[in-house]
Amino acid sequence: MSELAEPTSLVTPLVDEAVASLVAGDLALISGVLYTARDAAHERLVRMLERGEALPIDLRGQVIYYCGPTPPRPGRPIGAAGPTTATRMDPYTPALLAQGVKGLIGKGRRNSTVRDALRVHRCVYFAAIEGTAALLGQRVQAADVIAFADLGPEAIYRFVVDRFPVVVANDMYGRDVYELGRARYARV
């Protein structure tokens, strides 16, 4: 786990080499496109896959942010953009990782099935810090609804972000920042 290391700059879409360079505990700043999706959108995407339908976006190399943004203030693309609890997406995550997703952003731990799928599909799970929704929203330069508009804030948005701050919670090697942190402080 990194100790006050300089954040890694990442640009989406993510490539295997970038994902392979990340270790649980690393700080990262993401620039480029993030796609938002919460549980209602995840369920629809997985149902579409089960029916053999084309998805509304190409997920290869993409980062999905578990977020339902608030309405924008004047002159801004969105309002607050805080992370949603990731466990709500756990039932759907392996199917979406199989479509080529390379990064996920949320808050909280992932179950063992998702952690195994991260290893298999060479993907990384980032944690965004709770309580920073207004600050995270300021990192969004543009936002457009691209699918499932009827879901309101749970629609799939395409965010263009600049230096969006995250922590690597689960790397593709099976390391978990939550477990590493507990072990570290158990020694103190």
What is the number of structural domains in the chain?
A: 1
Out of 2-11, 19-28, 139-148, 152-161, pick the least confident: 2-11
pLDDT at 73: 86
Q: What is the 3-state secondary structure (H, E, C) of 10-72?
A: EECCCCHHHHHCCCCCCEEEEEEEEEECCHHHHHHHHHHHHCCCCCCCCCCCCEEECECCCCC
The enclosing domain of 102 has a CATH number of 3.20.130.10
- Whether 1 shows a pLDDT value over 80: the answer reads no
Domain assignment of residue 2, yes or no? no
Q: Residue range 126-135: average pLDDT? A: 87
Domain assignment of residue 3, yes or no? no
- Whether 179 shows a pLDDT value over 90: the answer reads no
- Whether 141 shows a pLDDT value over 70: the answer reads yes
Name the pTM for this structure.
0.93
Domain assignment of residue 1, yes or no? no
pLDDT at 4: 63
In the chain, the percentage of residues whose pLDDT exceeds 70 is 94
- Residue 180 — very low, low, confident or very high, per pLDDT cuts 50/70/90? confident
pLDDT at 131: 76
Angstrom distance (rounded) from CA 30 to CA 166: 8
Domain assignment of residue 102, yes or no? yes
Domain assignment of residue 27, yes or no? yes
pLDDT at 49: 98
Domain of residue 56 covers 8-186
pLDDT at 2: 45
User: For 53-88, how does the pLDDT look when each residue is reduced to its tens digit (9 = 90+)?
Assistant: 999 999 999 999 999 999 988 999 999 999 999 999
pLDDT at 130: 78
Q: Residue range 96-111: average pLDDT? A: 97
Domain assignment of residue 140, yes or no? yes
Domain assignment of residue 19, yes or no? yes
H or E element that contains 168? strand 156-170
- Whether 186 shows a pLDDT value over 70: the answer reads no
